[in-house]
Structure 1
Amino acid sequence: MISNISVENAVQAKNQIEKLESQGLSRDNIYIFAHGDEREEDIADALHTAEVGIKEQGFFRSMKNYVVARGNELRSQMEAVGLSKEEAAQAEKELDQGKLIIIARTLQ
């Protein structure tokens, strides 16, 4: 199961992540996305959430993301953790508005 949550700021993100944790999800299965790469890293580090890497994307997709535009990279990463192309495109539009996207997945 994949949860896709849009929030306005890091405080709301922290609250949502704590809520997900109280439902039994591990922070290793919670990802946070921001349009700005540095903002995303800072918030993920502060909230101790997982980062999308080779494990989720595979080697070739991961390498490709180093040379594509940030929007393409974000959509690719969101798809790698479970969103459909359409869901990733919609989530990226919300990122364009300055929101944060939290994606939580339960392993089945």
Structure 2
Amino acid sequence: MNEKVFVRVVDSGARAMEEIHALHRQGYLPEDIFVLAHDKDHTQYLAGAADVNTVTVEEEGFIQSIANWFRSRGDELRAKLESMGCTPREAEVYEAEMDRGKVIVMARVRASNRVV
């Protein structure tokens, strides 16, 4: 991925919602905001409640998405983070944070996201 990604680690779903609302106020579009939690149901709940995205086949690519079926949740999360532009080391750090119950809020940084 050639786009930059903004990543924020937050302590809770409520804090994730605050961060998402702040990104909206800064001009980020819902399709450019993503949320990840260690628990898939929590990820889906937050994404639905905030009307933002989870990392899907579109971001990961088809082959990576199929490979995730055979990976541990930790490996799957690291692959998703890397598909969004994180380095392998960053993905490890963020996945460890999710192991501790943290939530990751990400936004694609594009020129069109800037509020003028």
When normalised by structure 1's length, the TM-score is 0.94
Q: Which has the larger radius of gyration?
A: 2
Give the counterpart letter for 1:28 in structure 2.
E
Provide the alpha-carbon RMSD of the alignment: 1.1
Q: Does the 8 Å contact 2:37/2:102 carry over to 1?
A: yes
Q: Which of 63, 70, 76 matches 2:73?
A: 70
- Write the distance in 2 (CA, Å) between the matches of 1:49 and 1:106: 15
SS at 1:90 equivalent: helix
Q: Which of 45, 48, 53 matches 1:50?
A: 53
Q: Any unmatched runs of 5+ in structure 1?
A: none
Q: Does the 8 Å contact 1:82/1:105 carry over to 2?
A: no
Q: Is the deviation greater in 52-61 or in 92-101?
A: 52-61
Question: Per-residue displacement from partner, 1:19-57 (whole Å, max 9, x unpaired)?
Answer: 111111111111111111111111111111112111111
Which residue of 2 is the match for residue 21 of structure 1?
24
- Write the distance in 1 (CA, Å) between the matches of 2:50 and 2:101: 18
Percent identity at matched positions? 31
Total equivalences in the alignment: 108
When normalised by structure 2's length, the TM-score is 0.88
